[in-house]
Structure 1
C-alpha cells in the first residue's frame, strides 16, 4: 500500500491553495443552512415553532432528525453535543423525554406528514438498546407518517456493535448505516481515544451486509494528531477496500476552549495548516483515482450511488447533516440540540440535556432559538446551495425562478473580480463556475452572496 501512495499527486498545489486561503481568510460558514446558525436568535421560541408546525399541510413531505445525546466513551476529538455514561438509566430517561417531545410536536401538526428520511445522529445512537431503537421507530411511524419506503439512517459506533444489534436495526427498519472510523492508524486512534482496529470495522460491514443493509457510509477525519499525508492516504485505501457507498472526509477542528476533552490532545502532534492542505488535497485525489465521485467539499460516493446520481442530475442538496438527496422542505429535529427547518424558518432546541428534559416535562416545546426567513433569504440560499453542491451557479436563472430581474445579484457577481483573477472562479455573464483550484475555496465565493455575514462579520472555522 505504501508504494501506491507515493504515486498520488494532488490536483492542485497545496501551497497555492494555502496562499489563497490566507488571502481570502476562510474563517467562514460551512453553509449547511442560510442564514447560518450564528444568526439564529431567541426571537424564535416555542410559540413561534408551534405556529409554524400548525401551518404545515397534513401529508406534506418531511424528514426527521433524532439526536441521541449520549456515548459510552469520550472521544477526545469530538465536537458534538453529547454526554458520556456507563449506565443505561440516563439514556432511558433521555429517550422518554425525546419521545415526549415527539408527542408535543406531533400534537401541533394538523395531521401526519409524509416522512421519507429519518436520521439518527448523536452522540452514539447505537447506545440505545435494540428494543428501544425499535420502540422509537414504531413511535415515530405512528405520530409522523413515516413512509414504508423511507430511508432510515443510523450513525454507528463499531466498538459497541454486535451481530444481534444489527438484527435489531433491521427489525427497526434501518436501511443505511454510517460508521465513524476517523482513521485506521493505531497511533492516531490512541491519541484521540478512539481505538477500533480495521478488523473490527470490517466485521461490522460484514454483519450489516449479511443482514441486508448494503447502503453503508463511512466518516473519516484529516488533521488529527500524528497524521501525515501518507497515513491519511493509507487510511483512504483501507477504507475503500471495504467498498462503502459514501464517505465523508472532514477536517478536525481543534477548539479546546469550547470542548474540554480536546485539551487531552497534545497540540504538538497536530499537523500544521500546510500539512492539513496536503492531506485534504491528496486524499481527495486518491478518492477520485479509486473511482469515487467527489461531492462538493467533503463527500465522496460510488458512481452508481443515488448521491452521485443526484449530483449529475442537479438535484443534490445540503442540510445540517451535510450533503443529501433529501428534497423535503421540512426537517423536524428532536432531542437536545436538535435542529430543524420548515418553510417559514429554522429552529434549534435547548442544548443542555437537563434543561431540555425539564422543558419537555413541563409540556413545553424545547425550542431555544431560530430565525424566520425572508424571500431574500430564500433566493440567496438557493444560490449558495447550488455553489456548495454543484460548484457552479447560474445566478440569472435562480433570480428568474424567484420572479426577480435577472441582474438582481449582478453586484455580487461583480465582487468576484479578485477571485477570478486568482483562478478560483470562471464567470460567463452571470454564471459562476469553480475551477479545480477553487473547489476548496467555494465558501469564499458563497460569502459574496451572504447578506448576514456582511452585516455582522461573524467569523467561523477555517476551511481546513
Structure 2
C-alpha cells in the first residue's frame, strides 16, 4: 500500500519555506521603495515583536556535490574581511532607513560555511551588527558549523556573543557516500565538536542528516543513525536529498544518477530513521525535523508557536526577517526581497549605497491568506480555512484524492493531515498552492516530494 502511495505522490513539489514559492514570484520583481514600504508597515504593526536576521556567509573551501546552496568555493581567506565589511555596510543601509532600532530577536549564520571565517572575523561581524541595536530579552542566536573546521575558539567566541544553538552538517558516515558527495568527515570530528559544544554550554545542538544520497543503503543509514544516537543531539534534521542538477549546475553531477536510491527504497531510508528516532525519544516536528522533549523546538510545537520561514523551522515567530549577504532573502510578511546572487554584484550595489535587491514579490490578499494556511499545515498539520468559499472549494478539489487515500481529513473548513499523511505533507500543501495549480510548470523546477 505505501509503495502505491509513493508511486502516486512522488512528484516534483516545493518545500514551502515561503508562499508564493520563488519560481512564482511576480516576474516584474519589486522596487526598493516598495520593499522598504512593506518593511516599515510590518515594523509599525509589530514594534514589540523584534526582528530576525539571517546572515549568509557564502564561502566554502570545497564543493559538496549534494549541496543546493548559493556559495563561492575558495581557499583564499583574505576574502573574509571585505565580505564582512560589505555585510556591515548593508546593515547600516537598513539602519539609515528604519524609523527606530528594532530589537534583534534572532540571528542565524548560514552558508556556505560560516566557520570558514575566523573567530575574530565572526566576532567583528556580530559586534558590528549588535552595536547600536537593541537585543530582545531572550534572543536566539544560532549558526551552522562544519565539523572539519569548527574550532573550540569558534564555539567559545560565539557563545560569549550570545549564541546558544549550533547545527552540524553530518549527512552520512558511510565512507562511500562521503566520497561520492565530496564531504569526507570522520565520526571523531563530529564527536569532538559536539562534546566541545556541550562543555561550553550550548543548550541546543542539532545534527543534519540526509537520506536519498548516492550509494545509501538501509544498513548504511542505520549505522549513521546509531553513531548519531551515541551523541544524543538535542534535535535532528533528516532531509530528503533534493536532486536538482538542472538548477544547480555541475555540482550535483558528481555521481551517476543510477547510484541514487529510488522511490520506495528512498522512503524506506526515511521510515528507518523515523522509527529509530522515535525509539530513542525523538518526536517528529513538522517536516524533516525531530527533537527531544527537552528541546525548545519540541516545546514550540507543543505550545503552538512553531514557525517556518526561509531558515526552516524556528521557535522565533517574527513578522520581519532581514537577510544580509549575497543571495539572502528578506521577508516582511507582506513582501519578499532577494539580494543579488553574484558576489561581485552584491558588493558593488552595497558600495553604491543601495539595498542590493535582485528580485522580489509583493503579496496580494489571496497570497497572504494562502500563505497562512500553508504555514499552519507545515507547522501544525492542520488549518481552519477563513476566506473566500470559492477558494476553499478549489482547494478541496485539489485535496480530493488525498482525502480518498486517507492522508487528510476534511470537516467543513477544517483540514487535518492524518498520521498516515504526514510523509506527504508537501503534497497536501500543493493543493493550497493555487499559483502552482493554476499555472503548472512545463519543466521540472522542484525536487520530488518523496
Residue number in structure 1 paired with 2:67: 78
Indicate how the Cα distance of structure 1 residues 387 and 343 shifts in structure 2: closer, same or farther if over 3 A, else same. closer
Residue number in structure 2 paired with 1:127: 116
Residue number in structure 2 paired with 1:335: 325
Q: Do the aligned partners of 1:413 and 1:430 also contact (CA within 8 Å) in 2?
A: no
Distance in 2 between the 1:413 and 1:308 partners?
30
Q: Do the aligned partners of 2:109 and 2:144 also contact (CA within 8 Å) in 1?
A: yes
Secondary structure of 1:332's aligned partner: strand
Residue number in structure 1 paired with 2:9: 21
Secondary structure of 2:18's aligned partner: coil
Q: Do the aligned partners of 1:155 and 1:180 also contact (CA within 8 Å) in 2?
A: yes
Matched residues, number: 442
Secondary structure of 1:77's aligned partner: coil
Check if 1:139 corresponds to 2:163: no
Distance in 1 between the 2:368 and 2:33 partners?
23
Residue of 301, 310, 313 corresponding to 1:311: 301
Residue number in structure 1 paired with 2:448: 462
Residue number in structure 2 paired with 1:389: 379
Distance in 2 between the 1:147 and 1:438 partners?
38
Indicate how the Cα distance of structure 1 residues 281 and 16 shifts in structure 2: closer, same or farther if over 3 A, else same. farther
Secondary structure of 2:131's aligned partner: helix
* Distance apart, 1:216 and its partner CA: 0.6
Once the two structures are superposed, residues 313-344 of structure 1 have per-residue CA deviations (whole angstroms, 9 ceiling, x without a partner) of 22211111211111110000000010111032
Residue number in structure 2 paired with 1:32: 17
* Distance apart, 1:406 and its partner CA: 7.5
Q: Do the aligned partners of 2:65 and 2:252 also contact (CA within 8 Å) in 1?
A: yes
Secondary structure of 1:235's aligned partner: helix
Q: Do the aligned partners of 2:238 and 2:288 also contact (CA within 8 Å) in 1?
A: yes
Once the two structures are superposed, residues 279-338 of structure 1 have per-residue CA deviations (whole angstroms, 9 ceiling, x without a partner) of 112212221122101012200011121211221222211111211111110000000010
Residue number in structure 2 paired with 1:282: 272
> Comparing 442-451 with 238-247, which one deviates more in the overlay?
442-451
Runs of at least 5 residues in structure 2 that lack an aligned partner in the other structure: none
Distance in 2 between the 1:60 and 1:312 partners?
21
Once the two structures are superposed, residues 236-258 of structure 1 have per-residue CA deviations (whole angstroms, 9 ceiling, x without a partner) of 22212211111111111223332
Secondary structure of 1:416's aligned partner: helix
Check if 1:156 corresponds to 2:141: no
Secondary structure of 1:175's aligned partner: strand
Runs of at least 5 residues in structure 1 that lack an aligned partner in the other structure: 1-12
Distance in 2 between the 1:277 and 1:169 partners?
37
Check if 1:435 corresponds to 2:418: yes
Residue number in structure 1 paired with 2:429: 446
Task: Give the superposed CA RMSD.
Answer: 1.9
Residue number in structure 2 paired with 1:272: 262
Q: Do the aligned partners of 1:53 and 1:108 also contact (CA within 8 Å) in 2?
A: no
Indicate how the Cα distance of structure 1 residues 241 and 51 shifts in structure 2: closer, same or farther if over 3 A, else same. same
* Distance apart, 1:131 and its partner CA: 1.2
Secondary structure of 2:245's aligned partner: coil
Distance in 2 between the 1:344 and 1:430 partners?
24
* Distance apart, 1:270 and its partner CA: 1.8
Residue number in structure 2 paired with 1:10: none
Distance in 1 between the 2:417 and 2:137 partners?
39
Once the two structures are superposed, residues 121-172 of structure 1 have per-residue CA deviations (whole angstroms, 9 ceiling, x without a partner) of 0001111111111111111112542335311101000100222222222223
Residue number in structure 1 paired with 2:364: 374
Q: Do the aligned partners of 2:80 and 2:121 also contact (CA within 8 Å) in 1?
A: no
Indicate how the Cα distance of structure 1 residues 172 and 394 shifts in structure 2: closer, same or farther if over 3 A, else same. same
Q: Do the aligned partners of 1:227 and 1:270 also contact (CA within 8 Å) in 2?
A: yes
* Distance apart, 1:366 and its partner CA: 0.6
Once the two structures are superposed, residues 180-209 of structure 1 have per-residue CA deviations (whole angstroms, 9 ceiling, x without a partner) of 000111221122111111111011011111
Residue of 384, 396, 417 corresponding to 1:413: 396
Distance in 2 between the 1:286 and 1:138 partners?
41
Residue of 33, 40, 50 corresponding to 2:36: 50
* Distance apart, 1:375 and its partner CA: 2.4
Indicate how the Cα distance of structure 1 residues 50 and 181 shifts in structure 2: closer, same or farther if over 3 A, else same. same
* Distance apart, 1:42 and its partner CA: 4.2
* Distance apart, 1:228 and its partner CA: 0.6
* Distance apart, 1:65 and its partner CA: 0.2
Once the two structures are superposed, residues 216-236 of structure 1 have per-residue CA deviations (whole angstroms, 9 ceiling, x without a partner) of 111110111111122112212
Q: Do the aligned partners of 2:7 and 2:263 also contact (CA within 8 Å) in 1?
A: no
* Distance apart, 1:414 and its partner CA: 4.6
> Comparing 122-131 with 163-172, which one deviates more in the overlay?
163-172
Check if 1:358 corresponds to 2:341: no
Q: Do the aligned partners of 1:50 and 1:105 also contact (CA within 8 Å) in 2?
A: no
Distance in 2 between the 1:418 and 1:17 partners?
11
Q: TM-score of the superposition, structure 1-length normalised?
A: 0.90
Distance in 2 between the 1:309 and 1:346 partners?
28
Q: Do the aligned partners of 2:243 and 2:447 also contact (CA within 8 Å) in 1?
A: no
Q: Do the aligned partners of 2:214 and 2:255 also contact (CA within 8 Å) in 1?
A: yes
Indicate how the Cα distance of structure 1 residues 59 and 383 shifts in structure 2: closer, same or farther if over 3 A, else same. closer
Residue number in structure 2 paired with 1:68: 57
